[in-house]
Structure 1
Amino acid sequence: MELKDKVVFITGSTRGIGAATALAFAKQGSRLVLNGRHDLDDDMKQKLEEAGADYKFLIGDVADEESVAQLAKEAWDAYGHIDVLVNNAGITRDRLIGGMKVADFDQVIAVNLRGPFLLIKALIKKFNKQRSGAIINLASVVGLHGNAGQANYSASKAGIVGLTKTVAREGAMRGIRCNAIAPGMIASDMTAALSERVQEGIVEQIPLKRLGTVDEVAQCAIFLAQNDYVTGQVLVVDGGMTI
């Protein structure tokens, strides 16, 4: 797929991987529909302007069914169609199972798994009608092997893997592709908050001996959007951590 002038809808695109993905598509000449629960900050607006981005920003909560229905309609109407959907919005509420609140489990599932399901459900008939569409879901390596203190997050991301493969099978006859990206430890606000000792311990477990970058994840989204013969796959971006 040639990405120039294609319409790309990215949820959770105010910071981190979502923001990097938005900028990566902007540099390809794509038109963007961006989303977050709060408005873009001035730094992101400046970066989009510098990239020459043609974009619209929609505030909406992917965990809320009514909000998703409105968000999907506004996103489609923004440019009259959508070529690529990137389900990136996600949260964490980490705690060992014994101390994890049921509300924290439910909220993570609602945002990380139910949200992508709701958006795909809201847009799939339109994708079927146009007989095309590339869906990219953000999973995680913890959805593949689990992680202590992240029962809710791991479960949500394992669910994303199953959702991705099912949508890929259902959509193939109509030219709709669906893939997932499973990042490992990526340099972010969350990892920056960890102590130097903890970060060093993490890096020791990574064969490439460094954290990944949000831009490296974003480039994988570009690849999955462009390659018309890749579907139902989980692209692991973890520096070899899960070898």
Structure 2
Amino acid sequence: MESIKGKNILIAGATGSIGAALVKLLMDSGANVFITGRNEKKIRQVAISNKISGEKIFAADLSNEEQVKQLKERYFMAMPGIDVLINASGIGIIKPVEQLTEDDFMQTINTNLYASFLLVKTFLPPMKEMKKGLIINIPGVLGKVPMAGAAAYSASKYGLVGMMQSIREELKRTEIRITNLFLGGVDSAFWDTIDLRVQRDKMIIAEEAAKAIWFLCQQPASGVVSEMVLQPFNHQAI
């Protein structure tokens, strides 16, 4: 396994339950971490908790092309390169299709799919210049199997999987690796605004989900983990 120590890592979605736990794991392992998220106050809180300097944080709406360009500028002012891009950002709107508004649908697509496109499109060229890198996305199990009420969410995550598989084909002759992590139910803030009867006490805890990403950051140089599935033992969808 490769060491994380000294690796230059960008974490998008660093304010979420999984993202915040991941920041701590990577910092404790000696990584050089830059964090971003939509909420500036939360980003600063995560930075303070992990002793990340102010020049290594940037609040941005990743579905806004101009803000992603600004993120790149800020990132490379503070970081010498990019070894790992981790996209842990996203939203979940779970509703029956007749209750799903056009705004719900487009917000989901913009946040989970279009933002991912902008992020990869922006940070892939520097990886190509270095001729190596690792991109980790988290489609979740709803990027593989459908669920009632998840029309918008699954559309965005299936789209993410297809997009990254296509990009992987473009990168076959490079040392840039792509990994998709299919997480099942995680006891996180994701469920706070979703009106479903779920057993959160039987879900994966956010810290364990973060450990899976931390593990994926240490893939051996001679191989790649194309996909990983992590789901609650008592509720396996795949």
TM score, norm. by length of structure 1: 0.86
Which whole-Å deviations, capped at 9, do the CAs of 1:27-72 have from their partners, x for residues lacking one?
Answer: 11101110012224475345313xxx56711011111111112212
Q: CA deviation at 1:123?
A: 1.5
Q: 1:207 — aligned with what?
A: none
Please tell me whether residue 151 in structure 1 is matched to residue 151 in structure 2.
Answer: yes
Q: Which runs of 5+ in 1 are unaligned?
A: 204-209
Secondary structure (helix, strand or coil) at the match of 2:180 reads strand
Tell me if structure 1 keeps the 8 A contact 2:184–2:230.
yes
Alpha-carbon distance between aligned partners in 2 of 1:70 and 1:45, rounded to the nearest angstrom? 19
Q: 1:230 to 1:224 in 2, by over 3 A?
A: farther
Counterpart code for 1:76: F
1:112 aligns with 2:112: yes
Partner of 1:22: 23
Name the stretch that deviates more: 37-46 or 133-142. 37-46
* 2:237 maps to 1:242: yes
How far does residue 12 in structure 1 lie from its aligned partner after superposition?
1.2
What TM-score, normalized to structure 2?
A: 0.88
**1:92 matches 2:95:** no
Identity %: 28
1:192 is displaced (CA, Å) by 5.8
Aligned to 1:198: 197
Identify the residue that residue 221 of structure 1 maps to in structure 2.
213
Q: Deviations over 1:178-199 (max 9, x none)?
A: 111111111113446779x933
- Provide the aligned length of Structure 1 versus Structure 2: 232
Runs of 4 or more consecutive aligned structure 1 residues displaced over 6 Å after TM superposition:
none
Other-structure match for 1:82 = 82
Q: Distance in 2 between matches of 1:213 and 1:38?
A: 23
CA contact (8 A) 2:131 2:176 kept: yes
| Structure 2 residue aligned with 1:71 | 71
**More displaced, 87-96 or 165-174?**
165-174
C-alpha distance 192-84 of structure 1, shift in aligned 2 (>3 A): same
Q: Is the 1:72–1:119 contact (alpha carbons within 8 Å) kept by the matching residues of 2?
A: no
| Contact persistence 2:38–2:61 (CA under 8 A) | yes
The DSSP-based 3-state class of the residue aligned with 2:197 is: helix
RMSD: 2.3
**Is the alpha carbon distance of 1:144 and 1:36 closer, same or farther for their aligned partners in structure 2, counting shifts above 3 Å?**
same
Indicate the residue corresponding to 2:128 in structure 1: 128
Residue identity in the other structure for 2:50: L
**Quick check: 1:184–1:237 contact (8 Å CA) kept in 2?**
yes
State the AA in 2 paired with 1:6: K
Q: CA 1:63–1:212 in 2, change beyond 3 Å: closer, same or farther?
A: same
| Match in the other structure for 2:138 | 138
Give the unaligned 5+ runs of structure 2.
none
